[in-house]
Structure 1
């Protein structure tokens, strides 16, 4: 089974399913979204959609409004998952800044009860927000089957990545997906993932095919095919893996088996 392990909810959903079918992808793991850049036809429309995301990344947000936004986004996600259960799995967001008990309560109410398969995407806008992830890690020790997916490209710094690395080592029961392989710091991240059982690599948004080639060569059992749609294309990212990987078993693992194993799924 071929699974795109990281896509954001795209509207209309039928267009997202068509992209999967055109790419020969069986299922995708959906993440919530606030902006919808797929709606944009001009650069100004794109700027308008992305302005909300930039505010989130920079930390310019009201905590109460942020939680309400997450609840609404989860509702939108669940509507799609319930309508197309044969096409999608889901990951759900968890707010930063809650107490440990509040975080566990949120996970129970919005992640576990909805049968979501992991938490994230977390998009830390600064090093302090990366440090705040420790509460999430503490909560997830109770749910070791739930991975955490963290954005590690810009604006996350090398210092922020090192904070995340230390959290991953400190909480070995928590599976951690390093989204976008650390961006420009991909060598550091690949080296770390290679020696860390609970660390995994998301292959989307790579700025070079060489980065993906090295990841496949070093940690094929830790690589997860993904497109980050609508920011990437399922077909193109799948073709890149097929082009770079000659070994049929490794190719099948990266395109689906690795994430099925990580999430304890049969299909």
Structure 2
């Protein structure tokens, strides 16, 4: 069993479920965890990171993800995305509804929503994730509002919630993110777009049970991302842990 723990999905041609399924077949991937796509045009990512352009959407299209996982229940799981700027009542109600609908986790998007990870609404969402037993996934940015240190503070404040750092942290080799995952029991790393040296360093310092394979489809190619894991100089058992055991445990599959 191989599970892609992070793929963006939408009804656009370049990020459609049909294209993802084709890419999964090529890569030998059995299932995927979907997050809402379409809020950014990933082909223009540099302009979003620099602030030159603003996101296309700020309302996460969770309904689209729900439709797709119901169309392909044997292939896909879903993680919802919520905008904390909607305010605590709306954000918490959205997460509770998503859990009732069968979503398996929460995705935070500091790039799209300019999130402050230690903000009051984010902290309430993190607490609710712990109550529901679902992981809190976030990517990081270089700004202090949502960098590695901010995520570390959030993870320390909510030890009963599991936190997943997307893309191996921020930058080519975020040693701070790797050391945070090694130090804190409730912090994990997702491998998509991470370089092989970064992933290998994380296996050594944090252990394979703190890593989960992801593709970041459609920004990256599932086949290419899986090859990074296949070529790691580690045991087959450790590769299996990264390719499906860690994400299966966190999502309760």
Per the TM superposition, whether the score is higher than 0.5 is: yes
8 Å CA contact retained: 1:127, 1:160:
no
Partner of 2:63: 75
1:108 pairs, out of 79, 91, 96, with 96
8 Å CA contact retained: 2:189, 2:210:
yes
1:140 pairs, out of 129, 143, 168, with 129
- With normalisation by structure 2, the TM-score equals 0.86
Indicate whether 1:14 and 2:2 are aligned.
no
Indicate whether 1:230 and 2:211 are aligned.
no
1:89 pairs, out of 66, 70, 77, with 77
CA shift in 2, pair 1:151/1:263, >3 Å: same
8 Å CA contact retained: 1:58, 1:125:
no
Write the distance in 1 (CA, Å) between the matches of 2:52 and 2:177.
23
Alpha-carbon RMSD: 2.9
Q: Deviations over 1:124-182 (max 9, x none)?
A: 46986223222321332322x11111112x45559732111111011001110011122
Partner of 1:249: 237
CA shift in 2, pair 1:59/1:157, >3 Å: farther
Write the distance in 1 (CA, Å) between the matches of 2:186 and 2:241.
17
- With normalisation by structure 1, the TM-score equals 0.81
Consecutive unaligned residues in structure 1, runs of 5 or more: 39-45
Cα offset, 1:59, TM superposition? 10
Partner of 1:194: 182
Write the distance in 2 (CA, Å) between the matches of 1:244 and 1:209.
7
8 Å CA contact retained: 1:121, 1:149:
yes
CA shift in 2, pair 1:138/1:98, >3 Å: farther
CA shift in 2, pair 1:156/1:4, >3 Å: farther
